[in-house]
Amino acid sequence: MTQTRQHEDESPRPAARSRTAVLAERIPIRRIILVTLGILITVGVLLGSWKTLTLSEGRISGAGWRDFLVFGVALGSIYALIALGYSLVYGILLMINFAHGEVFMMGAFASYYVAQSLDTAGLLESSPVLSILILLLVATAASMAVAVLLERVAYRPLRNAPRLVPLITAIGASLFLQYTAASFFGGNSKGYPDIPALEGTWTILGIPIAKTLAITIVAAALMMVGLTQFISRTTTGRAMRAVAEDKEIASLMGINVNRVIVTTFAVGGFLAGVAGVMFALVFGLVQYNMGFIPGIKAFTAAVLGGIGSVTGAAIGGLILGLVESVAPVLLLAGIHVPAPNQLRDVVAFSILVLILIFRPGGIMGSDQPERG
């Protein structure tokens, strides 16, 4: 992208122009702004980390940093699972499914009610593996149902509309689903029942990891591997790739495009359902608006890794999770910003803004985001 822009800037221009216009073109203001911004950010990051790491008092211990890292990886796995839903849909329809965070929320809610029943039945205590499987089953079923319904009601009628139209419906759907949950189930946050078998920590490779975090990381990794296999090995997966490449040609090849799109939404919903259970286990509560911010962050992760790419979503999620849990303290504690953790979301959103401005193709993606 930088390359092409350079060409643009240096291409010959008509001579008959006012001098200021010519001057304005010779100095690429945008690039100056971007480069200055880049330098400022780099310097700020280095300075902030240096100051934090050499703090004389209140320095964070090695164990503290290790805990930040582990939490970051777990959080990142959840983001990655949600991000895959954005990425898959974007890959095929080139639209941001803004309501995907609510798909995740609905899964968490469904599992919450089942978890409550299992808890009263004592199953949560006596057979934790079975109950977690049941929870996953319920959550994924609910999320898939919501995702498919969403596609049918809000997106399919608008498939050929101007690009911003489905985005606006997606925003509407997000709001609608949030407040549907609020009025159906109540607006207060609900404490997720504890699973006794998941309290405490496991020591893996000498690192103590909270059991919920470990399970989250493992589940996300399994899902990721499964999804890669699904996309590369199965007929449906191949059809998905074909539709992502070119809808019309795919339909000429005998692929039922509508069915593939529905499948894509269902797969995204499945992953979001898993993420919903994991999120509820880690944070211990569900609420009607729990999907909104994680949704935007997962979208950030998807863009960060390169939207449309599975590995990209995984890497983007991990990076975002790590940065979010480490960066506020690392960058800001040293320069005496009070309560740096309040600024977690600022860090995440700043990454979103910066990545979209500097490298909209993401880390793994191609540098050609303008397709379609």
* Residues of this chain that bind other proteins (CB under 8 A): 30, 33-34, 37, 95-96, 113, 116, 153-154, 157-158, 160-169, 171-180, 182-186, 292, 296, 299-300, 303, 337-339, 342-343, 345-346, 349-350, 352-353, 356-357, 360, 369-370
Six token digits for residue 11: 């291409």
Six token digits for residue 120: 């009263």
Please name the amino acid found at residue 227: L
Six token digits for residue 188: 């207060």
Write down the least CB distance from residue 28 to other proteins, Å. 12
Nearer to other proteins, 42 or 183 (CB): 183
Nearer to other proteins, 183 or 229 (CB): 183
What is the spatial distance between Cα 154 and Cα 169, in angstroms, rounded to a whole number?
6
What are the residues whose beta carbons fall under 8 Å from the beta carbon of 148, sequence distance 6 or more? 262, 265, 266, 269
Nearer to other proteins, 237 or 276 (CB): 276
Strand (E) or helix (H) holding 160:
none
Write down the least CB distance from residue 53 to other proteins, Å. 20
Write down the least CB distance from residue 349 to other proteins, Å. 4
Write down the least CB distance from residue 189 to other proteins, Å. 14
Residue 196 has φ and ψ, to the nearest 5°, of -55, -35
Write down the least CB distance from residue 187 to other proteins, Å. 9
Nearer to other proteins, 122 or 187 (CB): 187
Write down the least CB distance from residue 43 to other proteins, Å. 18
Helix, strand, coil percentages, rounded to 5, for the chain: 75, 5, 20
What is the spatial distance between Cα 83 and Cα 280, in angstroms, rounded to a whole number?
17
Nearer to other proteins, 220 or 355 (CB): 355
Nearer to other proteins, 152 or 259 (CB): 152
3-class SS letters over 220-254? HHHHHHHHHHHHHHCHHHHHHHHHHHCHHHHHHCC
Six token digits for residue 119: 């808890």
